[in-house]
């Protein structure tokens, strides 16, 4: 049995530590658009996810659990799963790299597309 919707919402709000405007501004950068994988010449999976996260954050700024749609919760589940998995793999980077070095890593940029700023 998977996680309950309440758990998913809680984890999403824990992992997504960027505001809608911060994430929106990040998604406009070349670093954001060039990180992650996707169709050749198309938008990366993480970049598309970032746009969906921005939309979720803007539509429900108070993070009221009753205001999320089933589609929101489905995407929030993906985001929480992605962040959890990648933070388990990449979390140690903060211990071994300077802030500047960290910002150059694929892991940093990819997680940021998914709404998580390792340096926040």
pTM of the predicted protein model:
0.92
- Span 58-75, pLDDT tens digits: 999 999 999 999 999 999
What are the start-end ranges of the H helices in the chain? Answer: 5-15, 20-27, 30-34, 45-59, 70-90, 93-96, 99-103, 106-113
What mean pLDDT is predicted for residues 93-108?
A: 90
Local confidence band at 1 (pLDDT 50, 70, 90 cut-offs): low
What mean pLDDT is predicted for residues 97-105?
A: 91
- Span 22-61, pLDDT tens digits: 999 999 998 898 877 666 667 888 999 999 999 999 999 9
């Amino acid at each position: 049995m998977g996680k309950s919707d309440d758990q998913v919402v809680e984890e999403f709000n824990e992992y997504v530590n960027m505001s809608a405007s911060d994430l929106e501004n990040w998604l406009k950068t070349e670093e954001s658009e060039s990180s992650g994988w996707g169709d050749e010449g198309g938008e990366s999976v993480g970049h598309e996810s970032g746009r969906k996260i921005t939309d979720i954050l803007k539509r429900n700024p108070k993070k009221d659990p009753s205001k999320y749609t089933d589609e929101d919760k489905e995407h929030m589940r993906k985001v929480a799963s992605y962040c959890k998995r990648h933070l388990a793999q990449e979390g140690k980077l903060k211990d071994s790299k300077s802030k500047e070095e960290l910002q150059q890593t694929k892991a940093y940029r990819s997680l940021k597309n998914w709404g998580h700023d390792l340096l926040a």
